[in-house]
Amino acid sequence: MNSSSNLVTNKSENFLSQFKDNNSNSLKHFTAAQFVEVWNHYDTDGNGYIEGSELDNFLREFIYSVFSEELGNETIPNDELELMKKEFMEAFDENSDNRIELTEMAKILPTEENFILLFHRDNQLDSSVEFMRVWKRFDKDRSGFIEADELKSFLLHLLKEAKPETNIEEGKLIEYTSSILHLFD
């Protein structure tokens, strides 16, 4: 069963290979924009999860990108991929739903620490009343929507809450805002 749809043999076919640091033979740290680009590439149906064949494609390319030196031009047989997938999901699928969500992907890919903080769930809202309080605080124009500038203020607030000592550059904050808008808008 060596169909080309089941095996990645050519590095140029591997989307993740463009993010490889050839000096260290590992993936580079992803910017927020690159993280969104990778997410959108593999979440082909846009449902907010990487699952099924999307997950198989991601995993195959991820393994080839990280272990390309060891694999050379060898392909990953489907039975071996299934074993690797089982171990991979045991390590990263925190809620055991057999799919990868954004928070889980943020832990898989080497991503900027401040961007990863936006996906942590340490400060979950306790009630709908608390949600509305936070919403009203950042929906300054009371439009019922969070526009880009309001989102930027919200993200700055989240980052300061998570790491008060961190100084967030304006350019990075704009990049994070743009990336979040591309993910959820």
Domains and CATH numbers, the chain: 11-111 (1.10.238.10), 116-184 (1.10.238)
- Radius of gyration, alpha carbons of the chain: 19
The pLDDT assigned to 10 comes to 45
Give dist(CA 145, CA 148) in Å, integer.
10
Residues 6 or more apart from 55 whose CB is under 8 A from it? Answer: 85, 99, 100
Give dist(CA 38, CA 77) in Å, integer.
24
Helices (H) and strands (E) in the chain, counts: 9, 2
Q: How many residues does the chain have?
A: 185
**Residue 3 structure tokens:** 């169909």
Q: Please, are residues 76 and 63 in contact by the beta-carbon 8 Å criterion?
A: yes
What amino acid is encoded at 81 in this protein? L
The pLDDT assigned to 35 comes to 87
The pLDDT assigned to 131 comes to 60
The pLDDT assigned to 70 comes to 73
The pLDDT assigned to 85 comes to 92
List of E strands, 22-179:
26-27
pLDDT tens-digit readout, 115-163 = 665 665 555 555 556 666 777 788 888 887 778 888 888 888 888 877 7
pLDDT < 70 stretches in the chain: 1-12, 69, 72, 113-132, 185
- State the DSSP code for 30: B
Give dist(CA 43, CA 25) in Å, integer.
25
The pLDDT assigned to 33 comes to 80
